Amino acid sequence: MDIQKEIDKLRSEIERHNRAYYDLSSPTISDFEYDALMRRLIELEEKYPEYSSPDSPTQRVGGSVQPQFAPVRHIVSLESLNDVFSYEELDSFISRTNEVIGDSSEYVVEPKVDGLSVAVEYENGRIIRGATRGDGLVGEDVTENLLTIRSLPKKLKNAPPRLVVRGEVYMSRETFLKLNEEREISGEKPFANPRNAASGSLRQLDSRITAKRELDIIVFNIQYAEGREFKTHAETLDALSEMGFTAVPYKLCRTAEECRSHVSWLGENREGLPYEIDGAVIKVNNLADRSLLGSTSKAPRWAAAYKYPPEKKETIVEDIIVQVGRTGALTPKAVLKPIRLAGTTVTNATLHNQDNIDRLDIRIGDTAIVRKAGEIIPEVIEVVYGKRPPEAVPFKFPETCPECGAPVVRDEDGAVIRCTGAECPAQLLRNIAHFASRGAMDIDGLGISVAQALIESGLISSPADLYYLDAQSVASLERMGVKSAEKLLSSIEKSKENGLARLLCAFGIRQVGQKAAKVLASHYSNLDELCKATEEELTSIPDIGHITAKYLVNWLNSPQSKHQIELLRRAGVSFESKEAILDSRFAGKTFVLTGTLRSFTRDEAETLIERYGGKTSGSVSKKTSYVVAGDEAGSKLVKAQELGIPVLSEEEFKEMIK
């Protein structure tokens, strides 16, 4: 390949990954793969200096300032670090440094916390501002979000008049696993690792969301201290601790051998740390020596980050088991002969799905290569086929759920196999949370924590059991009480009259969300009529496709679903439709609602339009028939006027539905 073309391609690819990693908190490749791309680019730029450019990602920090945050110019730039990937490279760094400052130099070795770098500013001991690193010179103002972090002191002891510190915001492993479990239950995409979770949580526009994420911070540098002088970096870390910060732990080392030894120790003992680390940082301790060494345009010459390579080891696959997740997804897992990997004992590894098993052709008894490259969950990446025992046979997924015995089906994209059981115990928490959610049965007060308590106490084992609860049993739950129990039961009772559309949505049938549920409820007067429908009949309804029809018919006719429906019937839950079309006066018409209506909620107005055969849309276009404008109508009203679309007042709309 032409050198210029390869360099341009690498720069473009790295910039794309920088945006995904720094700005979107959603990386598409591993740190190891990213580092390999960056190292190749550095190698080419050093070998062919005629192609160097100040715009290259090797010359600047990868992040940027997003428009939703106010920019903050850092008093002292927040530099990046040059990486080393072997002890030979670490020795070279120390040798180069010692040539300038002398062999008697001292180094500080710290864990490299894998989080989001921030600068926090204090005046007279009180916090006044906090910002992300951004591009190193200008960051994003996240002060309100930083204030939600309990481990960040808001008032300091014996602090200088003006102080700027640099730290790493992180999410503990325990908090990370809990957050991903909650996201899985609510149908959200889980975070890839704690670093992405911390970054996404700190860069929220609503600080209440950040507060719920339970972030932490560890401080590792004094950027600026008015009126205070320090001789060494170790002194600054000790001073930070005295002021009230959680300062990064460190070890003083005098030789390359001592540095290597502590880097190795950190790698072996990383599992005992409260945060994820992806390496160790080696810094010159004497601050005067740092000034002598200086910095490049991107990184200091007095520090280096040793990046731990992704560890891979061989072990025996003793069994392959299939677990059922909160959303019904069946996930295969390899049970391994225990090995020590990345500072922890590994006994299990994910196999992802059936397609991955087929690709690897992994079997019970195989010798497999397992990797844990800074991620929480180890994975099998390769099989040593030459060591396969003769009795090993291909592994196939079960055709029924290992938890409840219901049939399993592949998702429409073919990647995930799911349980179809309405009463599957593995899915119970997720099913209860979805059943009670706002778009479904809208049971106020029944969040994930309350649902978990009801399940753990044995009071419910299915959504239908909610309608058989009694106040005394609910009140006995921890942190509940009589008033809260009565309020919850009142909300459950009220939900009985929600009607067919909400009930269908609450069932959690694949591809039957709020929109499809409303469409179905407009064509069937009650649930019993819908249960008699065939796939062919359902696909004749606009907006109901073959896949949706198949999922619906299979769910309604399964034994577990029929049992749920019968329990709901006995409890008095309404199966009647509130969306059945009354007449077709709005047939072929599309309405857009804007502003605040005094006589209806937005949902009520949309339901009325649909019951008269019309449709609603969230945006104004040439296809819009009417815009209904309530109080404080905004841009949609302006656009309707520009396009000449009829605008109805609330009173005019009420006249149309009389």
User: Are the C-beta atoms of 167 and 219 separated by less than 8 Å?
Assistant: yes
Rounded Cα gap, residues 168 and 133, in angstroms? 10
CA angle 460, 464, 465 (to 5 degrees): 30
| Residue 266 pLDDT | 94
Per-residue pLDDT band for 61 (boundaries 50, 70, 90) equals: low
Dihedral angle computed from the Cα positions of residues 281, 286, 288 and 292, in that order, rounded to the nearest 10 degrees = -50
At residue 46, does pLDDT exceed 80?
Answer: no
Per-residue pLDDT band for 12 (boundaries 50, 70, 90) equals: confident
> Per residue in 568-615, pLDDT tens?
999 999 999 987 777 888 988 999 999 988 888 888 898 889 888 888
CATH architecture for segment(s) 311-387:
Beta Barrel (2.40)
User: Are the C-beta atoms of 504 and 514 separated by less than 8 Å?
Assistant: no
Rounded Cα gap, residues 519 and 544, in angstroms? 8
> What is the topology classification, in CATH, of domain 590-656?
Rossmann fold (3.40.50)
- Look up tokens 């032409």; give the residue: 2
With a CB cutoff of 8 Å and minimum separation 6, the contacts of 405 are: 421
User: Are the C-beta atoms of 421 and 554 separated by less than 8 Å?
Assistant: no
Strand partners, 129: 121
DSSP 165-218: EEEEEE--HHHHHHHHHHHHHTTPPPPSSHHHHHHHHHT-SSHHHHHHT--EEE
CATH architecture for segment(s) 425-571:
Orthogonal Bundle (1.10)
CATH homologous superfamily of 3-59 equals: Helix hairpin bin (1.10.287.610)
The H or E element containing residue 468 is: none
CB neighbours of residue 338 within 10 Å = 12
Domains 311-387 and 590-656 share a fold: no
- How deeply is 184 buried, as exposed, middle or buried, from its count of CB atoms within 10 A (0-12, 13-18, 19+)? middle
User: Are the C-beta atoms of 280 and 111 separated by less than 8 Å?
Assistant: yes
| Residue 301 pLDDT | 95
CA distances from 476 to 466, 471, 472, 543 (A): 16, 9, 6, 46
The H or E element containing residue 616 is: strand 615-617
Closest alpha carbon to 608 in 630, 586, 588 = 586
The DSSP bridge pattern shows strands 83-84 and 344-350 to be: unpaired
In this structure, of 62-66, 85-89, 254-258, 612-616, the range with the lowest mean pLDDT score is 62-66
The H or E element containing residue 34 is: helix 31-47
> Per residue in 439-467, pLDDT tens?
899 999 998 889 999 999 999 999 999 99
> Per residue in 66-110, pLDDT tens?
667 889 999 999 999 999 999 999 999 999 999 999 888 999 999
Tokens of 88: 């030979």
Q: Which of 5, 112, 307, 515 is catalytic?
A: 112
With a CB cutoff of 8 Å and minimum separation 6, the contacts of 350 are: 331, 332, 333, 334, 377, 378, 379, 380
User: Are the C-beta atoms of 446 and 488 separated by less than 8 Å?
Assistant: yes
Is 157 in the active site? no
- Class for domain 71-307, per CATH? alpha beta
Domain edges within the chain: 3-59, 71-307, 311-387, 425-571, 590-656
pTM above 0.75, yes or no: no
The DSSP bridge pattern shows strands 615-617 and 590-594 to be: parallel
- Look up tokens 């649909």; give the residue: 610
Buried b (16+ CB within 10 A) or exposed e, 142-157: bbebbebbeebbeebe
Please, what sign has the CA dihedral across residues 515, 520, 522, 528? negative
Mean model confidence pLDDT for the chain: 89
